Structure 1
Amino acid sequence: MREFTIPLPIARAVLGPVFRLTLNARLPVAVQRALLDAGSVFQLMPEGTIVQHLQLGGRAAERIIAETAISGSRTRAVPPERAAGAILYLHGGGYVVGSLTTHRSLVAHLARESSCAVYSLDYRLAPEHPFPAGLDDAEAAFLELVDNVGYRPEQICLAGDSAGGGLALALAQRLLERHAMTPAALGLIAPWVDPTQPPAKDRDLVINRAWSQACAAHYLGDAAVTEPGYAPLLGNLIGLPPTYVQVDVSELLHDQCRRLVSALRGAGVHVRFTETRGLWHVAQLQAALVTEAAMALSELAEFLREAIQPVSIDDLR
């Protein structure tokens, strides 16, 4: 479908009440999920997007590519059939909500801008499936991309937003520790990397403290907060791949993201860090509607593309 854009102030005015309604700890989880899926109809995909349904690690997944070669891409990436790797994307939603549907538009824009195949995973959610179910699913998906699809670990980037960003970081740690595998790069959009840390303020445009703490409790279940992978910020960061962290200064997770960047740099990890102003938590979901959000997502796509494909053939001509 053809995209259109709306001014930033209007987007903020519309989205604020929507998220106050949907991400509400007093609503049953099933209702939150249904409302978010229904609202996703307004997050359009770029023209020429191809969505292929498949299974990864025993879970439903989608492989999304951009059929129209890169005429609309800001990154000048090569077409998918000549790309050197893929991206495994883990959606956000506090480990409780979110789906392939809610993030299909974001993933499609990421596929267009990176010109890579992007695999989006329907990992299990809490409270029905608390930690470490989602991490186990992400691990199984990555290993299937290596063992059955044929990618090498260094040809796969991990990306995710919010809780999905935390899950991507935890997955990178587990791959390194259990399998001696290092992905090509990490692309983290406002990652939630320490659910043990309550937000310092009550809310931002999208999420609020009560909802966040309810999600953290659902995700933890009967596990201990010290379990490796639950709060990956507190785990071992040495040896992780190049990482790009994006966050808006207005977000509840802004301070946590700054802590992550500092800790990664202290561990010797190459980090790129962007702090936007005037956007909101995971504004990249609205890349089809808001120019500033699309630009942020384009920068992330370029970082990931260059991690797995440093120089394209066309660049050498």
Structure 2
Amino acid sequence: MVASNKHPLVAYQPFKFLFQLAYFTTIIARLPLWLTLAFFAPLRPHPKWTAKQTFMAQVAYALTDLKSRIGVTSKLSLEQGKEEDRFQVIEPSNSEAYKGPLTSLIVKPGSVGGTWYPKAPGKDIASKIVVLYLHGGAFVEGDGRNEFCGYPVKTMIERGGVDAVFSLQYRLSGWMGVNPFPAALQDALTAYLFLVEKVQIPSHQIVLCGDSAGGNLAITLLRYLEEFGTTIPRPRCVTLFSPWVAPFDYNTEQNPNRNSDFLPTSFLRWGAHTYADGLLNSPSDPYITPLGNPFATSVPIFVNAGNAEIFFVANKKWVKQMKDVKDNHVDFHEEDAALHDTFLLASILGFEESAQEVILKMGTFVRKC
């Protein structure tokens, strides 16, 4: 169940320019409608939304759809850039650490970067609570750096009861067989082993955190540790925000929250098919699709999902499946009137107050673990 791995025709010039021009014309044509929806409360997709939230959700949907239809994955750099000494390149661990689903004839563990927040670690880092953060972006967007991840990381440090964050720049997937599974999951394991073995942070001081596609990676990394990491110590806990538990359930037309979220089918399809490129039975593979594949774990899990988002129903089902496994501890928080991944995008979409409340709850959970 894998789509063609070729770029869409509109990814190439001059078709790209013509398509962008035509699409921006439709955006301009829709602006009066979006403004009407925003300023007349009875017309808003959700009765509790503000004018800004309504307008920005419409804009975010259109811009996400535009980029997804072109489908060009950004190239990542291992140069320090604006992050300077906070950006660190790390090398893979011993090859024996990458077993089972992390072995591939094509995709090998490689060098990967990450950004430290609020600063490069000092000698006292081993005494602090450190988050390994895996960002969202459908496996095709994001880099863990300031511009993309600055808001959630800053909020976690200020309100989430953690001292430092290592935000991973895992490899992104793309058409033409660019970094498919298990590239990103290999990188997540590389980063976790780096914190435990190289930086020597006690595992009970490490919080594994992920939102959206990063939530998928956090879940599957935890599963990997339980199934194959017999000698690898477990993290303190896992915190998940709108985790993508069913990547191949991307047809939003049948979703009850399709009108109150900004995720288009084009974005989800792009991410699912490029990440799972070449894999058979991807919709049922436990390392691609957590939904329907619960597992036992001793690690406490915190899950947040907005009840107005596309992933809400799937998240509730996955939480129930995990809770049904004996001795699992899963806390589920329903974020009222929230669309997808306010943890990452609150400052853009106007959900700052809601996101900050959620991160306060995350902090309480982390301290109790």
Aligned counterparts of 2:84 and 2:291: Cα–Cα separation in 1: 35
Task: Tell me which of 169, 172, 196 is aligned to 2:222.
Answer: 172
Summarize the Cα distance change of 1:104–1:119 in structure 2 as closer, same or farther, 3 Å threshold: same
Tell me whether 1:191 sits opposite 2:250 in the alignment.
Answer: no
Helix, strand or coil at the partner of 2:69 = coil
Aligned counterparts of 2:365 and 2:119: Cα–Cα separation in 1: 18
Deviations 1:98-138 (A, max 9, x none): 22231222112112222321110000011121111000000
Tell me whether 1:238 sits opposite 2:296 in the alignment.
Answer: yes
Helix, strand or coil at the partner of 1:142 = helix
Residue in 2 that maps onto 1:42: none
Task: Tell me which of 67, 70, 88 is aligned to 1:27.
Answer: 70
Identify which of structures 1 and 2 has the higher relative contact order when contacts are C-alpha pairs closer than 8 Å and 6+ apart: 1
Q: CA deviation at 1:227?
A: 4.3
Deviations 1:242-299 (A, max 9, x none): 1111011111101110111101111131111111222211112245562122111222
Residues 76-87 of structure 1 mapped to structure 2, 5 A cutoff: 84-87=128-131
RMSD: 2.7
TM-score (normalizing by structure 2) = 0.67
The one-letter code matched in structure 2 to 1:239 is T
Summarize the Cα distance change of 1:203–1:130 in structure 2 as closer, same or farther, 3 Å threshold: farther
Residue in 1 that maps onto 2:26: none
How many pairs align?
273
Deviations 1:60-102 (A, max 9, x none): 10111389xxxxxxxxxxxx86954311000001111122231
Further displaced range: 269-278 or 173-182: 173-182
Helix, strand or coil at the partner of 1:23 = helix
Aligned counterparts of 2:126 and 2:218: Cα–Cα separation in 1: 25
Residue in 2 that maps onto 1:311: none
Deviations 1:18-58 (A, max 9, x none): 3123321313334xx59xxxxxxxxxxxxxx9982112342
Residues 88-127 of structure 1 mapped to structure 2, 5 A cutoff: 88-100=132-144, 101-113=147-159, 114-127=161-174
Summarize the Cα distance change of 1:102–1:11 in structure 2 as closer, same or farther, 3 Å threshold: farther
Summarize the Cα distance change of 1:228–1:82 in structure 2 as closer, same or farther, 3 Å threshold: closer
Preserved CA contact (<8 Å) 2:131 2:208: yes
Residue in 1 that maps onto 2:90: 56
Helix, strand or coil at the partner of 1:103 = helix
Question: Which blocks of at least 5 consecutive residues in structure 2 are unaligned?
Answer: 1-47, 76-82, 92-110
Task: Tell me which of 4, 12, 18 is aligned to 2:59.
Answer: 18
The one-letter code matched in structure 2 to 1:217 is H
Aligned counterparts of 1:203 and 1:94: Cα–Cα separation in 2: 20
Question: Which blocks of at least 5 consecutive residues in structure 1 are unaligned?
Answer: 1-6, 35-48, 68-79, 308-317
Report which of the two structures shows the higher radius of gyration computed on alpha carbons. Answer: 2
Preserved CA contact (<8 Å) 2:90 2:191: yes
Tell me whether 1:271 sits opposite 2:330 in the alignment.
Answer: yes
Residues 30-45 of structure 1 mapped to structure 2, 5 A cutoff: 30=73
Preserved CA contact (<8 Å) 2:298 2:328: yes
The one-letter code matched in structure 2 to 1:212 is L
Residue in 1 that maps onto 2:103: none
The one-letter code matched in structure 2 to 1:164 is G
Aligned counterparts of 2:154 and 2:240: Cα–Cα separation in 1: 17
Preserved CA contact (<8 Å) 1:50 1:64: no
Q: Which has the higher helix share?
A: 2
Query: Percent identity at matched positions?
Result: 26
